[in-house]
Structure 1
Amino acid sequence: MGKKVPYHIYIIRCQDSSLYTGIAREWHKRYIEHLEGRGAKYTRSHKPQVIEGVWEAFGRSEASKVECFIKSISKNKKESFLKGSEDLIREVFERFQIEIRKIEHEFVQEHV
């Protein structure tokens, strides 16, 4: 079995205030794809406005479980996690025994 590599779980706020959750090895490159209309079908019809949160997990499987969990919860709970990301980190560990960490995600959109 190979070494687990970092994957990122990210949440994007769209212009209609909806939230999109995805995973990527390199979140900033994937975010650019969303901004340019080359990302997910959802973000082509719900234009991305800002990246709200980024977390790191080790391994695609772990990141996919976290992504699925976030997608399954209400928008209100997602908003709560965005305000207090330690809550998300704690809940993911309690539910799945997966350790994630918050990533600082300042992003300048100078190319768009």
Structure 2
Amino acid sequence: METNDHYFYVLECKDGSYYGGYTIDPSRRLGEHNSGKGAKYTRVRKPVKMIYAEKYASKGEALRAEYAFKQLTRSKKEQFLSEAGEWDANSEEF
């Protein structure tokens, strides 16, 4: 049985909005969003940049994190990202 890493990630769109999602391959998914093959929401808000990603042991955990993030108000999302600290996509190993 193949095991995958599961990620919850946050994108910052060109218009300053945030998009939260789930993937098993953050680099590939970011490319999909920027090529217009990602979520409908990001297609008209590109380019997007990945500002946060967290690895989870199971898909369910990652999806719960995504859902919880999407329920937050804008100010709570900003607080979450601020408390998570600076995330450098170039140094993060997927």
Whether TM exceeds 0.5 here: the answer is: yes
Q: Sort the Cα spacing of 1:4 and 1:83 in 2 relative to 1 into closer, same or farther, 3 A.
A: same
2:10 match? 11
SS of 1:84's equivalent in the other structure is helix
In the TM superposition, structure 1's runs of 4+ consecutive aligned residues that sit over 2 Å from their partners are 2-5
Taking structure 2 as the reference length, what is the TM-score of the superposition?
A: 0.84
Question: 5+ unaligned residues in a row in structure 2: which ranges?
Answer: none
RMSD: 2.1
Residues 12, 48 of structure 1: 8 Å contact kept: no
1:31 match? 30
Q: Sort the Cα spacing of 1:21 and 1:48 in 2 relative to 1 into closer, same or farther, 3 A.
A: farther
Residues 9, 67 of structure 1: 8 Å contact kept: yes
Taking structure 1 as the reference length, what is the TM-score of the superposition?
A: 0.71
Structure 1 vs Structure 2: percent identity of aligned residues?
A: 30
SS of 1:51's equivalent in the other structure is strand
Return the offset for 1:5.
Answer: 3.3
Return the offset for 1:14.
Answer: 0.5
Question: 5+ unaligned residues in a row in structure 1: which ranges?
Answer: 87-102, 108-112
